[in-house]
Amino acid sequence: MDFHRDKLSAIDPTQDTSSICVRGARVHNLKNIDIDLPRDQLIVITGPSGSGKSSLALDTLYAEGQRQYVESLSVYARQFLDQMERPDVDLIVGLQPTICIDQRTGSQNPRSTVATITEIYDYLRLLMARLGQPHCWKCGRPITQQTAEQIQDRLLALPEETKLMIMAPMVQGRKGAHKEVFDRIRREGLLRVRVDDEVYQIDEVPELNPKKNHTIEAIVDRIIIREGLRARMSDSVAMALKLGEGRLLSCHLDTDKVDDKHPKGTWIDQIFNTELACTECNLSFIDIEPRTFSFNSPYGTCPKCEGLGICEEFDPDLVIPERELSIDDGAIAPWRGLTASALTKVSKGLDVWLGKHKLDRTSKLSDWTEDQRTKLLSGEGSTWQGVLIALEKEYVTTTRKKRLEQLGKFRGKLPCPACQGARLRPEALAVRVADHNIHQIVRLSINDARTFFDDLEFDEHESLIATPIVREIAKRLAFLEKVGADYLTLDRAADTLSGGELQRVRLATGIGSGLVGICYILDEPSIGLHSRDNHRLIEALVELRDHGNTVIVVEHDEAIMRVADRLVDVGPGAGSRGGQIIAEGTPDVVSQVEASITGQYLSGRTKIDVPKSRRKVAKSRMISIEGATTNNLKDVAVQVPLGALVCVTGVSGSGKSSLVNETITPALLRRLGQPSQRPGAFTSLRGTSQVDKVIPIDQSPIGRTPRSNPATYTGVFDEIRKVFADTRQAKQYGYKASRFSFNVKGGRCEECQGQGLRKIEMNFLPDLFVECPQCHGKRFNRQTLRVKYKDLSIADVLNLPIEEASEFFEAVPTIHRVLASLCDVGLGYLSLGQPSTTLSGGEAQRIKLATELARTETGSTLYVLDEPTTGLHFEDIRRLLSVLGRLVDKGNTVLVIEHNLDVIKSADWLIDLGPEGGSGGGQIIATGTPEQLAEVEASYTGQYLKPLLNGGTEA
Ligand code: ADP
Ligand code: ADP
Ligand code: ZN
Ligand code: ZN
């Protein structure tokens, strides 16, 4: 390492413009490191989990980039600079403007979609506003808008000698005597009016019945079409439009239309409008502008759901969970347990309605017709309001907190009844390009959208406007395709994307922006990507670099490491045992470095072996599901063997999460009486009695505020507080365990309410967090901190890396067991009190896994994990596999979604989905042992697996 330092010190960093030079970086665990990263190259930073990769890439380089950016911004922003912490580093020079594409999805706006992130939506709005054909949202007719000149020309184009009246519509089918309307017409100096289709002299209009609807038009002019009328026509049209507030009614005698009743011809009314309007429905429309199509703007957003596309309502499936029951047996779940009087109140009118349909409260709902069940829920006429309305009323009126909570359990997020999930108001949805409204366009997958835009045809005039807009859209679609996101739909909500998908979408946006001279920082973009599609991601990264950008990627994926211009290996261990640069250079150079674990794996000196034998799966111990159709699943039937390590594979978007996370897991949870989201559709699920418990271990944060951390989540903090309360000092001061909590008043610092941080709102910039000036981030008040256990205060303990804490609490088994288990999953480097908001998805997942490991298992638990290798280096994966193996050896089942070939080759059983992503996937391609799958030609997974197995094991 000293050699390294000497070599670098010889260069004067301030003179070097070809590199980003870092001197003396000490952020988190970094050991005062120096490094030069060549600009405009693809740099991959790797190393064990917790070794300091993110501390270098994100918390040093990106943080400094941000700081330099803010500095260049404005005086207003700069006044906060003192408070904005500088990363702990001596010097960074040569840093370009930095853009970070990471996977912390926590702050995603629920309104972001693939289309909005990539700006495709902005161009679409422009296209719709400029070239969309508006339609009346009520009757569906195309609607038009005309200028006064156009109206005039239309009228002058009538045949010579045509008799014509030009009128201003004043009242349209409204009750009243309308005296003031006639006064107004009189004041304008007009002599005639048409009232309910009869023409009168203004002073001869009969008294109107105020209780009836009337229609009144002021007759502005009566003309016979001849040469030389233009000036008079122009005045009359202008006056009619003024009186009619933009509308004009013409009435002319068509002498060709002759019949018995109309021997001289037929009078024909025609309405003109200078504003957008449907003349049939007499509806006016707002001006169509890009903002009309924005679900974030009051001009566009659906008024019912405020642009979210979903509403929280009572979910019929939760309200009537079992049709086999009658109303008296409790078919209507929210009514179960109500007192007789409460029940009478909420079901007012129900018996009359039941009588009408010859039904009663004792018949099973399954014997009713579909229509009867719908009416039970939604009501019929004035007799019966419907269960859903009754519940809604109770929900908004009840004052009992407990009942409110109870009722809340039956509510779910359902598509908005007004816009059906389209997020926009009906006027916006009635504008169409090539017969598609904007919502129909964004519902297309990237693939289909490309075809749609390729096939668009415009006339010459429209092309002038359309071509540049469509070009921008097509460009972005091509980038999305390039990064392997082609199966996503444009309206896919960002918060439903996996971390890797979101990163790839943002990467496409980055490439699409065409910026140069930027330093892009990415954090494991390969997540969720099948080996087959790795090259696409690699090509995208290379393209970004070739545009003239520096691309820094934190990665564990071997293929990406191998294409790096420069590979940086951080290590050797995690936490305090890491934080050094172990090797750097081309991948070849790094693989020669003996001390580098990465190098050992790259050169093949070390590898994860194919297991010597696999657990046999028994036909008798299986869970089987049939008819699964969630998202893209095509009537999938599959069996999951129990007591084995089962891996679900397939290219990104093939349907793995749809099958496992959205169908099997929630269905099992509900069957076992555990709370869960609503499962996706399936027809049958068998074998569930063989599992006692289902434990999904996902990557969602362990808490959404900095108040949660590994200690609070695993529950060890309660035990630790008890230890502190048991000390002699605490007893002497009379401190109970609650004194050592930062969530309640008493022991915590009140200045920051135990957060250790204070939020500073920056208006147009993201909020800043600065250390609390009172407690200096310790979160507790001075009195509390006086209490020591083995020389450490409660704040010191929260600062300990878990590894050290585990030794520190060796003598307290309840604490030690949990901490040891955290170390087992490779999280020993985290500090006990690290805020959950700073943990990656993979770390959160492993904390959950460790918490489960520390429990006493039943032996028939099903654990479900989604890409547990996220954030893990070769050596960490080896450790994870041994942890999972231990769970299975106790008789449990582990079901994982994975792309990592080391995990796949170690599984007992594989379920491979595909063949492609999106609508081209959703089928089971093959199931079997890795050896069996390797022989299936149609399986991409099998193809990539085959060279790794080299016939080593017996099936
Ligand atoms: P890697 O990216 O290699 O997995 P990190 O850079 O995230 O590793 O972590 C390196 C070390 O810094 C670890 O010991 C970790 O616990 C610590 N660390 C990371 N983030 C923070 C933070 N926000 N506050 C305190 N310590 C942190
Ligand atoms: P995988 O897990 O194999 O990557 P997914 O199950 O996530 O695949 O996706 C399968 C298909 O279903 C894809 O076309 C995807 O876009 C779609 N899909 C997945 N989740 C959602 C969702 N929440 N909303 C809409 N479509 C979804
Ligand atoms: Zn809506
Ligand atoms: Zn404080």
CATH code where residue 268 lies? 3.30.190.20
Ligand number with the minimum distance to the CA of 755: 4
Ligand 1 mean position to 838 CA, how many Å? 9
Ligand 3 mean position to 294 CA, how many Å? 13
Ligand 4 mean position to 754 CA, how many Å? 6
pLDDT for 896 equals: 97
Assigned domain for 357 exists: yes
Distance CA 300, CA 295 (A): 5
Q: Higher-confidence residue: 595 or 768? A: 595
Q: Do 791 and 863 share a domain, yes or no?
A: no
Q: What is the mean pLDDT of residues 763-782?
A: 79
Among residues 894, 834, 888, which one has the least CA distance to residue 862? 894
For the chain, the C-alpha Rg in angstroms (whole number) is: 35
Strands annotated E in 287-410:
310-314
Distance CA 319, CA 468 (A): 51
Phi and psi torsions of 833, nearest 5°: -105, 20
Distance CA 128, CA 437 (A): 8
Would the pLDDT of 228 be above 50?
Answer: yes
For the stretch 649-667, pLDDT in tens is 999 999 999 999 999 999 9
Which residue, 520, 544, 563, sits at the end of a domain? 563
Tell me, using a 6 A CB cutoff, whether residue 50 lines ligand 1.
yes
Angle at 842 between CA 837 and CA 844, to 5 degrees: 45
pLDDT for 106 equals: 45
pTM equals 0.77
Assigned domain for 648 exists: yes
pLDDT for 583 equals: 96
3-state DSSP assignment of residue 346: helix
| Residue 901 tokens, joined | 């070939």
Ligand number with the minimum distance to the CA of 836: 1
Q: What is the mean pLDDT of residues 915-922?
A: 92
Q: Do 855 and 822 share a domain, yes or no?
A: no
Would the pLDDT of 474 be above 90?
Answer: yes
If one residue of 108, 658, 665, 678 were mutated to test the ligand 2 pocket, choosing by the most ligand atoms within 8 A of its CB, it would be: 658
Of all protein residues, whose CA lies closest to atom 21 belonging to ligand 1? 28
Assigned domain for 466 exists: yes
pLDDT for 16 equals: 63
Residues around ligand 4, an ion, CB closer than 5 A: 749, 751-752, 772, 774-775
Q: Do 171 and 53 share a domain, yes or no?
A: no
Q: Do 758 and 855 share a domain, yes or no?
A: no
Instruction: State the CATH number of the domain containing residue 556.
Output: 3.40.50.300
Tell me, using a 6 A CB cutoff, whether residue 47 lines ligand 1.
yes
Confidence of residue 298 (pLDDT cuts 50, 70, 90): confident
Ligand 1 mean position to 54 CA, how many Å? 7
Would the pLDDT of 243 be above 70?
Answer: yes
Would the pLDDT of 744 be above 70?
Answer: yes
Q: Do 300 and 426 share a domain, yes or no?
A: yes
Would the pLDDT of 229 be above 70?
Answer: yes
Distance CA 840, CA 19 (A): 29
Pocket of ligand 2 (CB under 6 A): 487-488, 492, 496, 528, 631-632, 650, 652-658, 917-918
Would the pLDDT of 5 be above 60?
Answer: no
Confidence of residue 705 (pLDDT cuts 50, 70, 90): confident
Task: Tally the domains of the chain.
Answer: 6
Q: Do 845 and 927 share a domain, yes or no?
A: yes
Residue 657: how many other CB atoms lie within 10 Å: 22
23 pairs with which residues across the strands? 91
pLDDT for 101 equals: 86
Confidence of residue 762 (pLDDT cuts 50, 70, 90): low
Ligand number with the minimum distance to the CA of 780: 4
Phi and psi torsions of 861, nearest 5°: -105, 145
pLDDT for 954 equals: 42
Tell me, using a 6 A CB cutoff, whether residue 834 lines ligand 1.
yes
Domain extent at residue 96: 3-105+510-563
Query: How many Cα atoms occupy the beta-carbon half-sphere of 479 within 13 Å?
Result: 28
Looking at ligand 1, which atom is closest to the CA of residue 28?
Answer: 12
Assigned domain for 816 exists: yes
Tell me, using a 6 A CB cutoff, whether residue 51 lines ligand 1.
yes
Distance CA 299, CA 558 (A): 49
Confidence of residue 914 (pLDDT cuts 50, 70, 90): very high
Q: What is the mean pLDDT of residues 188-214?
A: 92
Would the pLDDT of 74 be above 60?
Answer: yes
Would the pLDDT of 193 be above 60?
Answer: yes
Q: What is the mean pLDDT of the chain?
A: 89
Distance CA 562, CA 602 (A): 8
Q: Do 827 and 750 share a domain, yes or no?
A: yes
Assigned domain for 585 exists: no
Confidence of residue 489 (pLDDT cuts 50, 70, 90): very high
For the stretch 146-190, pLDDT in tens is 788 888 988 998 999 999 999 999 998 888 999 999 999 999 999
769 pairs with which residues across the strands? 759
pLDDT for 312 equals: 87
Would the pLDDT of 2 be above 80?
Answer: no
pLDDT for 906 equals: 97
Q: Do 340 and 473 share a domain, yes or no?
A: no
Tell me, using a 6 A CB cutoff, whether residue 892 lines ligand 1.
no
Q: Do 726 and 832 share a domain, yes or no?
A: yes
pLDDT for 899 equals: 94
pLDDT for 953 equals: 45
Assigned domain for 611 exists: no
Assigned domain for 543 exists: yes
| Residue 7 tokens, joined | 């070599």
pLDDT for 282 equals: 64
Ligand 1 mean position to 52 CA, how many Å? 6
Rounded (10°) CA dihedral 714, 716, 721, 727: -170
pLDDT for 901 equals: 95
Ligand 3 mean position to 439 CA, how many Å? 12
Q: Do 542 and 530 share a domain, yes or no?
A: yes
Ligand number with the minimum distance to the CA of 866: 2
Q: Do 63 and 162 share a domain, yes or no?
A: no
Q: What is the mean pLDDT of residues 456-464?
A: 88
Strands annotated E in 577-628:
580-585, 622-628
* Alpha helices (H) along 417-517: 426-429, 438-442, 446-455, 460-482, 499-513
Would the pLDDT of 4 be above 80?
Answer: no
Which residues, including other chains, have CB under 8 Å from residue 286's CB and lie 6 or more apart? 276, 292, 299, 427
pLDDT for 884 equals: 93
In which residue are the tokens 């696999």 written?
A: 614
Of all protein residues, whose CA lies closest to atom 25 belonging to ligand 2? 492
Ligand 3 mean position to 370 CA, how many Å? 26
Q: What is the mean pLDDT of residues 247-265?
A: 88
For the stretch 842-867, pLDDT in tens is 788 889 999 988 886 678 999 999 99
Confidence of residue 108 (pLDDT cuts 50, 70, 90): low
Which residues, including other chains, have CB under 8 Å from residue 8's CB and lie 6 or more apart? 23, 34, 35, 36
Q: What is the mean pLDDT of residues 821-837?
A: 90
Instruction: Decide: 532 and 651 in contact? Cβ < 8 Å.
Output: yes
Would the pLDDT of 767 be above 70?
Answer: no
Ligand 3 mean position to 309 CA, how many Å? 5
pLDDT for 77 equals: 61
Which residues, including other chains, have CB under 8 Å from residue 483's CB and lie 6 or more apart? 504, 505, 507, 508, 511, 536, 537, 540
Assigned domain for 569 exists: no
Q: Higher-confidence residue: 75 or 638? A: 638
Distance CA 955, CA 908 (A): 9
pLDDT for 939 equals: 96
pLDDT for 196 equals: 92
Of all protein residues, whose CA lies closest to atom 1 belonging to ligand 2? 653
Confidence of residue 808 (pLDDT cuts 50, 70, 90): very high
Distance CA 379, CA 372 (A): 9
Instruction: Decide: 314 and 320 in contact? Cβ < 8 Å.
Output: no
Please say whether the dihedral angle defined by the alpha carbons of residues 827, 832, 833 and 836, taken in this order, is positive or negative.
positive
Among residues 750, 736, 757, 733, which one has the least CA distance to residue 833? 757
If one residue of 29, 822, 823, 875 were mutated to test the ligand 1 pocket, choosing by the most ligand atoms within 8 A of its CB, it would be: 29
Instruction: State the CATH number of the domain containing residue 763.
Output: 1.20.1580.10
326 pairs with which residues across the strands? 364
Of all protein residues, whose CA lies closest to atom 23 belonging to ligand 2? 496
Instruction: Decide: 21 and 11 in contact? Cβ < 8 Å.
Output: yes
Would the pLDDT of 955 be above 60?
Answer: no
pLDDT for 666 equals: 94
pLDDT for 3 equals: 41
Q: What is the mean pLDDT of residues 732-757?
A: 91
Q: Do 865 and 942 share a domain, yes or no?
A: yes
